[in-house]
Amino acid sequence: MNTLALLVAVGSSDVVTPDSPPIDTGTTAWMLVSTALVLLMIPGLAMFYGGLVRTKNVLGTMMHSFAAMAIIGVLWVVAGYALAFGPTVGGVIGWDPSKLLLAGIDQTIMEGGIPEYVFAMFQGKFAIITPALIAGAFAERVRFLGYCVFIALWSLLIYNPLAHIVWGGGFLTGDAIDFAGGTVIHVSAGVAGLVAALYLGARRGFPRVAMHPNNLVMTMMGAGLLWVGWFGFNAGSSVESGLKTAQALTATQAAAAAGALGWMILEGWRHGKATSLGLVSGILAGLVAVTPAAGDVLPVGAMALGLLASAACYGAIAIKNRLGYDDTLDVFGIHGVGGIIGALGLTFFLRDVPEGGIWVQFGHQVMGVLVAGAASAVGTLVLLVLVEKTVGLRLEERGELAGMDHSMHGEHGYGLLNPN
Amino acid sequence: MNTLALLVAVGSSDVVTPDSPPIDTGTTAWMLVSTALVLLMIPGLAMFYGGLVRTKNVLGTMMHSFAAMAIIGVLWVVAGYALAFGPTVGGVIGWDPSKLLLAGIDQTIMEGGIPEYVFAMFQGKFAIITPALIAGAFAERVRFLGYCVFIALWSLLIYNPLAHIVWGGGFLTGDAIDFAGGTVIHVSAGVAGLVAALYLGARRGFPRVAMHPNNLVMTMMGAGLLWVGWFGFNAGSSVESGLKTAQALTATQAAAAAGALGWMILEGWRHGKATSLGLVSGILAGLVAVTPAAGDVLPVGAMALGLLASAACYGAIAIKNRLGYDDTLDVFGIHGVGGIIGALGLTFFLRDVPEGGIWVQFGHQVMGVLVAGAASAVGTLVLLVLVEKTVGLRLEERGELAGMDHSMHGEHGYGLLNPN
Amino acid sequence: MNTLALLVAVGSSDVVTPDSPPIDTGTTAWMLVSTALVLLMIPGLAMFYGGLVRTKNVLGTMMHSFAAMAIIGVLWVVAGYALAFGPTVGGVIGWDPSKLLLAGIDQTIMEGGIPEYVFAMFQGKFAIITPALIAGAFAERVRFLGYCVFIALWSLLIYNPLAHIVWGGGFLTGDAIDFAGGTVIHVSAGVAGLVAALYLGARRGFPRVAMHPNNLVMTMMGAGLLWVGWFGFNAGSSVESGLKTAQALTATQAAAAAGALGWMILEGWRHGKATSLGLVSGILAGLVAVTPAAGDVLPVGAMALGLLASAACYGAIAIKNRLGYDDTLDVFGIHGVGGIIGALGLTFFLRDVPEGGIWVQFGHQVMGVLVAGAASAVGTLVLLVLVEKTVGLRLEERGELAGMDHSMHGEHGYGLLNPN
Amino acid sequence: MKLITAIICPERLDQVRQALIKADITRITVTRCSGRGQAESLEIYRGLEVGPELVPKIRVDIACNDEFVQVTIDAILDAARRGEGEVGDGKIFVTELQQCIRIRTGESGGTAI
Amino acid sequence: MKLITAIICPERLDQVRQALIKADITRITVTRCSGRGQAESLEIYRGLEVGPELVPKIRVDIACNDEFVQVTIDAILDAARRGEGEVGDGKIFVTELQQCIRIRTGESGGTAI
Amino acid sequence: MKLITAIICPERLDQVRQALIKADITRITVTRCSGRGQAESLEIYRGLEVGPELVPKIRVDIACNDEFVQVTIDAILDAARRGEGEVGDGKIFVTELQQCIRIRTGESGGTAI
Ligand SMILES: Nc1ncnc2c1ncn2[C@@H]1O[C@H](COP(=O)(O)OP(=O)(O)O)[C@@H](O)[C@H]1O
Ligand SMILES: Nc1ncnc2c1ncn2[C@@H]1O[C@H](COP(=O)(O)OP(=O)(O)O)[C@@H](O)[C@H]1O
Ligand SMILES: Nc1ncnc2c1ncn2[C@@H]1O[C@H](COP(=O)(O)OP(=O)(O)O)[C@@H](O)[C@H]1O
C-alpha cells in the first residue's frame, strides 16, 4: 500500500547510475497506458460536467477541465512534481531543485523497472484532475480568469502538499491506506467544492428557476470514458503490471457496477423510475469509493463499498437539496461523501488484517480523511477569498445570465441550434 | 485456437501454489488494456445505438447498454465466471463454488503469466456486451424493468452455458474455431435479437411513420470507439502479447477497413451515394465477421471476410426491409449474419489447414453456429415469454408514444433543444 | 532517432528464421496499444473537424476521416507497407513484393522483439491520418467520390514515398530528425492542404457569409481524444517500451499543455477572452510541433516548442485571415506551420548535441522540411488537377449550398433538430 | 384564408399528421417549442423531483382556405387529445391570413395554399 | 383576443417568465430562434472577431384576452430590457387572434386562453 | 404593418438574407422548422430509400410597414426560388400586424419596426 512512497524513495533520489535497475518493458507499458487512461478521464469529466449544466454554460464548463490540462499540465512539469515527490521538508512538502522542470529525472529508472518520467506523468494527471473536479461545485457562475488563478494556486499550495503528505514521504505516508487517491483527490476535492459552493453562493435564480442539464447524452458518454479511464487511475496506482494491478482493476470494475446497480435500485424504489443520471452517478460513487481501497479489498468488499457509497451519496444529495446550498454538480455529494465512505469503509474489507488490527487502522483512516479534509477546507477558503478580492472569481450578474460561453469565451457550444 | 480453454484448464483449477507460473508483465499489461478496450466498446455501443433511434428514446437506448454494465457487471463477479469457466458439468455448464464472488482466484496466476483476475474481467466484458447487443433489436419499445430482468436471466441461463460450451471446457471446446466470440457473442446475440423482434412485434406506427436517427454524428463517434475497442476484443482474445496477438489485430484492422469499403462501394453502386450509416455498418459487419477468425486467417482472408460480410449484411437488411419485421437496429442483419459469415467463411481462409481437412472443419463450424443459434433462439423465446407474462417487457402504447426517456426514466436527452 | 529505419532494415528483410529474436511481450503490448491509440485519433479528428463546419456538412466532414480509415486501411495492407518499408529503389520508394498483402511478414519478429505486423499496423495508422488531415483545408466543398480518389492516389503516390524517404530507408533516412512524423505527416499534410485550398478556391459565400462551427462541444471532445491518441503517436514511435518512450510521452504532454496555455494567454491578451477553440487549437499546435522532436528534447524544450508553435500558428492564421484564402480548418496554419516550427526548432533543444553540430543538423532539418513540403506541394497539385478534370473534386453550387450531408450522402447529422 | 397554429404534445404529432392527411390536409409546418400551460410534468434530477417549468411541445402551422378550417380543427382536436383529455394536450389558435404565395410559381391566393 | 409575440434576448427569458407570472400570465409558448436587428454581438473564431450575422434569440408567444394585452406588454417591456435598454433587447408584435381552442376540452373563446 | 412569414429551403437562407439586405430590410427573425408541402426528399437508411415525411425548412419572419411589403415579398420570391422553381421552394404568408413595440425604447408603431 505504500508502493508509491517506497518506489520514490529508492528510485529517484539520485541520477542514473550504472547499477540502475533494468527496464521492465511490461510494467512500463502498463504505466504508459495508465497515464493515457487517466488523461482520458479529463475530457471524460469535461463531457460529464458539460452535459449537466445549462446550454449557455456548456463550453465554459468544459473549459474548466481543459484549462486544468493546460495550466496544471505546465505547472506540474515546472515545479509540482518537485514539490510533491521531492525529499520531504518537515513532512509537509517535498523539495528537490533538481526535479524542477523534471530535469533531474531524464534518465532515471525507478525500482520496479519504469522510467521515472512515466511515474511523474502518471502522477501529473492526478494533479490535473483534482482541481477540475472541484470546478463542478461552482459551475455556471465563475469568471474564467479567476478560475485559472484559483486552480493554479490550489494545485501548488494544497494539492502538492497533500500528495506529499500521503504519498510522497510526508507525515502520513505509510499509515493511512489510500491506494489511488481517495483522500488526496476525492475527499480534498469534495471538501474544496463544498467550501467554494458555500463561499461563492448559489447561482442567480437558484433554486427558483429550473436549471436543466443541456445534454444528458453527453454526460453518459463522459461517464463511460470515466469508467474506462478509472482502470488506469486505480490499477495504474499499483505501479506494476502484476497481481496487485489485477486486483485493483477487478475491485474497480466490481465497485463501479455495484454502485450503478445500487443507485438504479434506490431510484426505482423511491421514484418508480431509474434515471440515466442516477445510473451514472452510481457509477461515479462506486468508482470514488473504491479508489482508496482498490488494491487492498476483495471483489466482494469492493461491491459492498460501491453499494454503500451509492446509498450514502444518494442520501447526501437528498440532504443537500433540503439544506438548499448550491453545490451545482454535487462535488461534495459524490466525491466528498464517496471518498470518505471509501477511505473509512475499506478498513472493514481489507484482504489482509492490518498490522495494528482493524481499529488502529480505522484510526489512521480517520486521520487521513481529517487531514485531507481540514487542509483542503482551510486552504481553499483562504485562496477563495484571495482570488475573489484580487482578480475576482464570482461572475457578475450580467455575465452569469448571459452564460459563461458568451460572456467569458465569446462563443456558443451548439451552433447547430442556429440556422447557418 | 483453443488458447482460452487450455489456459483455463491448466491455470485456474487450483489455488495459488508455490510453483505458480511467474507473472509476465507484458502479457498482463496487454490483457489489462484489452479489458479496458472492451469496456470502452460498451459506451461505444451506447453511442452507436443511441444515435440511431428517435430523439425521444435516446437515453433509454443508451441505458440498455449502461444497465448491462451495472447488472451483468455484478452478476459476472457473483456467479457468472464460476458458471462459464468452472470445471464442466456434463459439458454444458461450469460450476466452481470457489469462484463465486471470484473468491478463489484472488492470487491465481494462470499459465501464460497473467493473474486470473484479468482473464475473468476480460471475459466479463464479453458477458456484458452480448445482451447489450440484443437490445438493438427491440429498441424503442420495451419497459426498463422488464429489460433488466431479461438480460439478467439471459446472461445467467444462455450466455454462461454458451461461453462454457465453446470456451470453458464444454462439449464444443476445441472443435469449432471461435477465436473471439463469433458464435458465442454475435450469432447468439443476433439470433436472440431476431426472436425478440418477432415475438415483441414492431414499434407502433412501423413502417408507416418515418423514424429517423436522432444523431448520426454520435453513431459515427460510437463506431469509432467500437473499432478501437475491438482491438482489445480480438487481439486480447489471444491471451498473450505476441505473434498471435499481432495477427489478430492485423486481421481485425484489415477486415474492418474492407467491410467499410465494401459497403461504401455497394451503396455508391446501388444508390449513387455512400452514406455515413452505411460506412459504419460496413465497419461493424467487417468486425463481426472477423471476430471468430481473427487469430487464424491471413490479412487477405480477413479482407475477404470483411467484404463478404458487408455484402451479406447489406443483402440481409434489404430482405428484412421486404419481409417487414422490425429488427430496429438490425442486430440479426449485422451481428447474426456477419457472425455466421465469419464463423463459416473462416474455414476457407485459415492460415494452417485444419487437422481433419477443410470440410471436417467446416462441419465443426456449422455445428458451432447451429448450437449457438438454436440454444439462443429457444432460450430467448422462453425467457421472453416468461418476462413478458410476469414483469412485462413490451412497452404499452402511451409510454411508447411518449418515448422511453420520458416514460421510463423521467428525463430527456437533449435539454439543449429546450430554451433554458 | 533512426530507430524505425534500423529496425526495419534488420528485422524485416527476410522471413522468420530459427534465430529470429524472442518476443518482448512488454514492448509488443505497448506497440499494440499505440496502434489502438493512433486509431483513436481518427474518430478524434472526425469529431474535431466535424464540429467546426456548418450543420449541413457535419457528416460529410466526418466521412472524410472515416473514408480514410476504409480506403487507406485497405490500400496500406495491399501495397502501402510494401512501398514505404520495402528495400529502397533509388532512395525514393520501397518495393518488396513479398510484403504485398503483408503476406511475407506473417511470422516475422523484428529486432526489438515485436511482431512486424504490429509495426506495419502502427505505421498504417499514420498513413490513414495524413490524408484525413488534409481534408480540413477543403472542407465543405468537395465531392465525395473525388475525395476518395484523391486520397487514394495521394497516399500511394505521395505519402508512401515520403515515408520511405524519411523513415523507410530512403535518401533522407538518418539525417533529419523526425521522431514521429513532423515532416512526413504534418508538413506534408499542411502544404497539401494549402495547395488544395488555393487550387479549389474558397467556399461559396466566403468570407461574406458567416460560417459558424456547428458543435464546438464535439470539437473539444475530439481534441481530448487527439491528445490521448497522440501519446500512442509519439511515444509509440520509439518502437520500444522504455526510457525513450517515456521521454517522448513526457515531451508530448509538456508541449500540448504549453501550447494550450500559450494560445489561451495570447487570446486573453489580444481579445480579452480565451476561447475554447483557441485552447484546443493550442493543444494541437503544441502536439504538432513536438511530433518530430518528442524523443529528442527535454521537457523544457518541449514546452518551448509548444509555446512557439502556439504563437506561430496564431500568427499564421491571422495572416491567412488577412490574405483571404480559404483554408477552412487551418490545416496549413496548424499542421504546416506547427510542423515546420517543430522540425526546425527542435535543433535548438536537443538532449544530445548532434554529431555535426547544431547548424549542420539545422541544415538537415531544413532539407527535410523542404523535401517534404516540395514533394507534397507538387504532387498534390498534379493530383488535384487530375482528379478535378476526371471524376471531379470541387462540389457544384447546388450541392455546396444544400450541404454535403444531403447532396453527397443523403442524410443529415442531427435528426434531433427535426421533430420526430 | 386562415392560419391555424396548434401547440400539441410531441407524442401526438404522428397521430395529428395522420388525421390531417386523412382529412386531405397534407401541407404543414412543424416547429419544436416549449410551453407552459396548466401542465406539470415531473422530471427527476439526482433524486429530486423537479417540475420543469417549460416542457417540450410541438407547434404545427397550417395555412388553409376558409372552408377547410373546421375540418382541420376537428382533425387536430381529435388526434391531439390523449384519452379523455389531459392537462397539457395543447391549444389551437386561429388567425386571419391575408396573403399566401407559392414561391415556386409565384401564384398567390387560395390556390397557393 | 390577441396573440403577443415577443422576440427577446435569451438571457432575459427567466426574468420575463417571472414578470409574467407576477402579472398572472402563466401560459406561454417559447421557441428558440435567431435574429438580426441592430444588434452586433462579436464572437471570436481562431483569433478573428466575427460578427455573427444571426444571434440566438428567444421567441415568446402569448395568447391573451384583450384586457390583458397591456399588462402583458408592460411586463415584457420591463423584464426584457437590459439596464437602460440596449440594442438587441428585442421586439414585441401583436396580432389579432380569431379563435382559441383548448384541445383537452374542446372549449373555445376567451375562457380557453 | 404586416408580418411576413416565409417558409423556405435551408440552402437558400443566405441568398434570401442578402436579397433582403439589398432591399434595405435588415431586421429578421429566423427559426428552424420542418415541413411538408409537395416536396419529397429521399434519404437513405441502411440501403432503404425512405421519404422523410418532414424535411428541414427555415422560417423567416419579417415585420414591415405596408409600403415595404411588396419589396420584401419580391426579394424573397426571387432569392428563395431554386432555378426555375422546384417543389419544396416554399411559401410566403402575410398577416396583419396590429402593433409593434421596440423593447429597448418602448416606442411603438411604424418607427419601431
Ligand atoms: N394562452 C396561451 N398562450 C400561449 N401558449 C399557450 C397558451 N395556452 C396554452 N399554450 C401552449 O399550449 C401548451 C399546452 O397547454 P395546456 O396545458 O394544454 O393548456 P391548458 O392549461 O389551457 O389546458 C402549453 O404548453 C403552451 O405551450
Ligand atoms: N422588423 C422585424 N422583423 C422581424 N424580426 C425583428 C424585427 N425587428 C426586430 N426583430 C427581432 O428582434 C430581435 C432584436 O431586435 P433589436 O436589435 O432589439 O431591434 P432594434 O434594432 O429594432 O432595436 C432581432 O434579433 C430580430 O430577431
Ligand atoms: N398550407 C401550408 N400550411 C403550412 N405550411 C405550408 C403550407 N404550404 C407549404 N408549407 C410549408 O412550406 C414548405 C414548402 O412547401 P412547398 O413544397 O414548396 O409547397 P407547395 O407544395 O405548395 O409547392 C413546406 O415544407 C411547409 O413547411
Q: What does the pLDDT look like over C149-203, one tens digit per residue?
A: 999 999 999 999 999 999 999 998 888 999 999 999 999 999 999 999 999 999 9
Tell me the pLDDT of chain A averaged across its residues. Answer: 94
Would you list the DSSP string of E46-81? TTEEE--SSEEEEEEEEEE-GGGHHHHHHHHHHHH-
* Residue E41 contacts B where some CB pair is shorter than 8 Å: no
Pairing relation of β-strands D43-45 and C93-94? unpaired
Nine cell digits for residue C30: 505497448
For the ranges C273-282, C349-358, E22-31, the one whose mean pLDDT is highest: C273-282
Question: Once rounded to an integer, what is the mean pLDDT over residues B140-149?
Answer: 98
Q: Rounded to the nearest 5 degrees, what angle is found at the Cα of A80, between the Cα atoms of A77 and A84? A: 135
**Distance linking the first and last C-alpha atoms of chain D:** 9
The tens digit of pLDDT for each residue in C319-361 reads 999 998 999 999 999 999 999 999 999 999 999 988 889 999 9
pLDDT exceeds cutoff 90 at A195 = yes
Q: Which ligand is nearest to the CA of F25?
A: 2
Give the helix/strand (H/E) hosting E33: strand E28-36
Closest residue by Cα to atom 7, ligand 2, is F27
Question: Residue A403 corresponds to which cell in the numbers above?
Answer: 452564460
* Pairwise CA distance, residues C11 & B257, whole Å: 27
Radius of gyration of chain B (CA): 20
- Find chain A residues with C-beta within 8 A of F30's C-beta: 419
Q: B107 in helix, strand or coil? A: coil
Q: Determine what percent of chain A is predicted with pLDDT higher than 90.
A: 90
Taking a contact as any Cβ pair under 8 Å apart, which residues of chain B between 36 and 95 contact chain D? 56
pLDDT at A199 over 50: yes
Which residue of chain E is at minimal alpha-carbon distance from D53? E17
Lowest model confidence (mean pLDDT) among B95-99, B207-211, D28-32, D41-45: D41-45
Mean pLDDT of chain B: 94
Question: What is the average pLDDT across A127-156?
Answer: 98
Give dist(CA C131, CA C150) in Å, integer: 9
d(C-alpha B334, C-alpha B306), whole Å: 12
Cβ pair B301, B293 in contact under 8 A: yes
A245-283: per-residue pLDDT in tens? Answer: 999 999 999 999 999 999 999 999 999 999 999 999 999
Q: Does C16 score more than 50 pLDDT? A: no
Question: Which of A220, A247, A417 is nearest residue B46 as measured by Cβ atoms?
Answer: A220
- pLDDT score of D53: 76
Q: Is the CB of D63 under 6 A from ligand 3?
A: yes
Which span out of B65-69, B201-205, E43-47 was modeled with the highest average pLDDT?
B65-69
pLDDT surpassing 70 at residue C2:
no
Task: Choose among D3, D26, D104: nearest Cβ to F81.
Answer: D104
Q: Residue C209's pLDDT is what?
A: 81
- How many whole angstroms separate alpha carbon B267 and alpha carbon B277? 11
Tell me: pLDDT of E59 over 60. Answer: yes
Hey, is the C-beta of D85 within 8 angstroms of any chain A C-beta?
A: no
- The per-residue pLDDT for E52 is 56
Distances (CA, A) of B120 to A31, A251, F62: 21, 12, 65
The pLDDT of residue C93 is 97
Can you tell me which atom of ligand 3 is nearest the CA of F39? Answer: 17
pLDDT in tens, B258-315: 999 999 999 999 999 999 999 999 999 999 999 999 999 999 999 999 999 999 999 9
Cβ(B113)–Cβ(B24) below 8 Å:
yes
User: Could you tell me the pLDDT band of residue A10, with boundaries at 50, 70 and 90?
Assistant: very low
Give the containing element (helix H, strand E) for F63. strand F55-64
pLDDT digits (tens, 9 = 90+) for C366-402: 999 999 999 999 999 999 999 999 999 999 999 999 9
Residue D50 to residue A210, Cβ atoms within 8 A: yes
Check if F7 has its Cβ closer than 6 Å to any atom of ligand 3: yes
* A-chain residues near E10 (CB < 8 A): 56, 402-403
Classify residue A93 by burial, with Cβ atoms within 10 Å: 0-12, 13-18, 19+: buried
Condensed to tens digits (0 to 9), the pLDDT of residues C207-249 reads 878 789 999 999 999 999 999 999 999 999 999 999 999 999 9
Q: Quick check: helix, strand or coil at residue B89?
A: strand
CA distance F55 to chain B (A): 11
Tell me how far apart the alpha carbons of residues A415 and E27 are, in angstroms, rounded to a whole number: 29
Query: Measured at the alpha carbon of residue A87, what is the angle toward residues A82 and A91, in degrees to the nearest 5?
Result: 110
Q: What interface predicted TM-score (ipTM) does this complex get?
A: 0.95
- Residues B308 and B289: beta-carbon distance below 8 Å: yes
Sign of CA dihedral A83, A88, A93, A95: negative
Check if F37 has its Cβ closer than 6 Å to any atom of ligand 3. yes
Atom 12 (ligand 3) nearest CA: F90
Model confidence band, residue E42 (pLDDT cutoffs 50, 70, 90): low
Ordered by where they begin, the domains of chain C are 2-14+22-398 (1.10.3430.10)
Could you tell me the three cell numbers for C331? 490545416
C-alpha R_g of chain C: 20
Does pLDDT of C15 surpass 70? no
Looking at residue D52, its pLDDT comes to 56
Q: Which helix (H) or strand (E) holds B187?
A: none
- Is residue E87 classed exposed, middle or buried when 0-12, 13-18 and 19+ CB atoms within 10 A define those classes? exposed
**Mean local confidence (pLDDT), C69-83:** 98
Q: How far is the CA of C27 from the centre of ligand 1 (A)?
A: 66
Q: For ligand 1, what atom is nearest to the CA of residue E105?
A: 23
Q: How far apart are CA B236 and CA B369, in angstroms?
A: 22
Residues of C in contact with E43 (CB under 8 A): 212
CA nearest to A290, candidates A303, A277, A280, A279: A303
| CA-to-CA separations, B332 to B72, B191, B275, B317, in angstroms, rounded | 22, 6, 21, 9
